[in-house]
């Protein structure tokens, strides 16, 4: 399952060349994964506060194909590529219209508040497993 969300490029996200600063793509990827989890019926806040689960990024990549520019209306497609033990891998495709601007991936390790590796609670694990690409 791909979850899509829409973003508008703000002026503050662009650089001197008039294109989006490369680091902002990772902030958008975060929006995509947070909203994907919300669409499954739970939130990052719930994971942290109620379930003592934190999902730090341990690997991140982005392939920039074309630049995003100020005021572009972007569509971000987010999906879960893998769920193995305490590892979750998300993938991202960012478009303006039908044009692919960037592709990315983030790998996360599930840990508790003491930063000890753990598995997701079963209800969250099952929800994510059901939408694996």
Show me where the domains of the chain are located: 3-129
Active-site amino acid positions: 15
Q: How many CA atoms lie within 13 A of 45 on its CB side?
A: 3
Q: Do 28 and 74 contact (CB within 8 A), yes or no?
A: yes
pLDDT tier at 47, thresholds 50, 70, 90 = very high
pLDDT of residue 110 exceeding 80, the answer is yes
Question: Mind listing the pLDDT tens digit for each residue in 66-92?
Answer: 999 999 999 999 999 999 999 999 999
Question: Mind listing the pLDDT tens digit for each residue in 7-46?
Answer: 999 999 999 999 999 999 999 999 999 999 999 999 989 9
Q: How far is CA 32 from CA 42, 86, 110, in A?
A: 14, 20, 18
Q: What is the reported pLDDT for 100?
A: 99
Tokens 């044009």 sit at which residue? 99
Question: Distance between CA atoms of 60 and 43, rounded to whole angstroms?
Answer: 21
User: Model-level pTM?
Assistant: 0.94
Q: Which residues contact 103 (CB under 8 A, 6 or more apart)?
A: 62, 63, 65, 91, 92, 93, 94
What CATH architecture is 3-129? Answer: Roll (3.10)
Q: Distance between the two ends of the chain, CA-based, in angstroms?
A: 6
């Amino acid at each position: 399952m791909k979850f899509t969300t829409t973003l508008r490029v703000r002026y503050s996200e662009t650089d001197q060349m008039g294109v989006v600063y490369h680091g902002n793509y990772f902030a958008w990827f975060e929006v995509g994964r947070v909203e994907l989890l919300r669409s499954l019926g739970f939130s990052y806040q719930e994971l942290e506060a109620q379930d003592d689960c934190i999902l730090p990024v341990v690997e991140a990549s982005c392939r920039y194909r074309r630049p995003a520019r100020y005021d572009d209306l972007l569509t971000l497609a987010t999906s879960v590529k893998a769920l193995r033990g305490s590892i979750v891998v998300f993938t991202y495709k960012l478009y303006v219209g039908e044009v692919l601007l960037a592709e990315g991936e983030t790998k996360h390790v599930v840990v508790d508040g003491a930063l000890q590796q753990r598995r997701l609670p079963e209800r969250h694990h099952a929800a994510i497993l059901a939408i694996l690409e």
